Structure 1
């Protein structure tokens, strides 16, 4: 496939501008999938269960963050009720609010922060009400409980916001003829997504490798019983895991909508399989594996457009995951369960 790709570029069957667009979109999609996958991988590495409500935490971050962005960006433009419910009453629109990064940078940045805080609050409430009571029940009961939590959370969102898909962001402005990129133009919202995701991943790396909390989290992921014996406060580590993982997940949901420009109550649910694929591909429990897996899934999903139609590209991404499971069952990072 690599040789065929080179041949297509040389003979002109594939324009370099088209290839570079696929590559850039693969990087954008891969970073946001990887960012969301980090939260899922952290949950598994510390609590040892597959959290099927993770996709709906992505949706929670998207709705809470964009509600805050509308409240700030729509000052003096629309009614409070319409902004709180993201135009559920069809009384206003993103175009009327003029909501894009150049016009409302404070609203966009503030919404990103609120997305993290709102998702953290919801995740901690769920942990206190459900998961903490089942801490010793084992992985399967927790997994089943997480499916119930996912459904409950999704339809709470539907109750308040409705089922309608709505546009919440204006079309992104572009940077034209930039020497920093290999394309003639680049969407500003995509650039904001990439810079935000890379910055958050670097921050997470520094936290895990350079702080006492990060060392405690890595120790607990490696051997929980030994961590408890050596005096590591496991409940505090679990709390920190939820805070960091949920915060990254909520921001991932917010950034997805910034790039896609539309929002629906199923936004996170539709991404959940790709997030799980990224975690499995990189190695369950590995933070860096989740990031790498997300990048591979995103790039595979977009680069496959060279050979097959858009409706089938995700099949190729999942086939890649299946091949990894067959030939390297522990994932690309060898089943590493620490950072």
Structure 2
């Protein structure tokens, strides 16, 4: 290939896809700055390792919760703004169970069920952790998923089902109302204080030339649980009749009805699967970060929406990939900007990528 042809192709690419060129320039500049920091000692390899691991953990939570949101959109055709409060509800139910099992006989049952509201009891005092109280943690994971499923089905039957044939805006606004109702009900019951939930877990150390990256048991638990559930969703969608029915309904609801698919069964399965994953994501998020508040899910919701949009609305795999990209961006961005702007950086990356690929990373493939 001659120089003239190379120049011609490069010029044509720059004209046809200017945003891709801008993205490439930004990536090169950031990598150059990172390499300069490593060369001068301003940035350590261990720091990068810590941020990458933190971003992976954050991305797994966002991706796991994003699956349920993506399924709701692709099959029920509306953006569910109460999704973030399903996360919080699952977290509170799971942690109430964990506190009760870990602290039974050591603290007042009411204080345990309220997850230590008002500082009545602390997770650190109870020694809660994956290694120290494994039964309590496992029970909490199961209950968080089960409670979120029950909540999703109850809200659907009483609120969403009667208006399911209305337009998407009606459902969206209704979901906002459900979100506020759930959030402030949880604030009323559990209090508005942010409380610590776990004892400091033991850590494994990965030694770098210039420092150490610490990985604790809660990180490993999140990695194993999230990966297993994501694999389970993949198998369900690709290998089971229910998964095929869900994909068919997401692609064309009318055609699914004609072929004899029970749409009501698919809708119910969507809430069960999405709700269960969402509740577990909420519990694992709190296990990982070690604190719990009534608006945790709401604060996480915008990042989940960003992940779902970035991955391609309606794509389960896109939600997972988008979650990882958003999580890593939010963590890694502190290498270049103040940590207070890390969430904003995640949205900037989403916008830039969508300018290059408007349909999302997975091109908006429905359900799978």
**CA deviation map 1:163-204 (0-9, x unaligned):** 11111212222123589xx95431211111111111110111
CA contact (8 A) 2:74 2:366 kept: yes
Structure 2 unpaired stretches of 5+: 1-29
1:30 alignment partner, one of 59, 64, 67: 59
Q: What corresponds to 2:25 in structure 1? A: none
**Are the counterparts in 2 of residues 286 and 335 from structure 1 also a CA contact under 8 Å?**
yes
Check if 1:48 corresponds to 2:77: yes
CA contact (8 A) 1:173 1:189 kept: no
Give the corresponding residue for 1:172.
201
Alignment of 1:186-335 (within 5 A): 186-335=215-364
Once structures 1 and 2 are overlaid, which stretch shifts more, 161-170 or 268-277?
A: 161-170
- Tell me, yes or no, if structure 1 residue 79 matches structure 2 residue 108: yes
Contact 1:77 1:96 in 2 (8 A): no
* Contact kept in structure 2, 1:23 and 1:299, CA below 8 Å: yes
Corresponding residue number in structure 2 for 1:14: 43
Structure 1 unaligned spans of 5+: none
> Which of 86, 93, 104 is matched with 1:64 structurally?
93
Aligned with 1:281: secondary structure? helix
Aligned length: 337
1:95 and 1:170 in contact (8 A); partners too: yes
Bigger mean CA deviation after superposition, 34-43 or 160-169: 160-169
TM-score scaled to structure 1, two decimals? 0.96
Give the match's secondary structure for 2:204: strand
Q: Provide the C-alpha distance between the structure 1 equivalents of 2:77 and 2:367, rounded to a whole number of angstroms.
A: 12
Q: Residue 317 of structure 1: CA displacement? A: 0.8
| Cα distance, 1:87 vs structure 2 | 1.2
Whose radius of gyration is greater, 1 or 2? 2
Deviations 1:199-255 (A, max 9, x none): 110111111111111111111111111011000110000000000001000000001
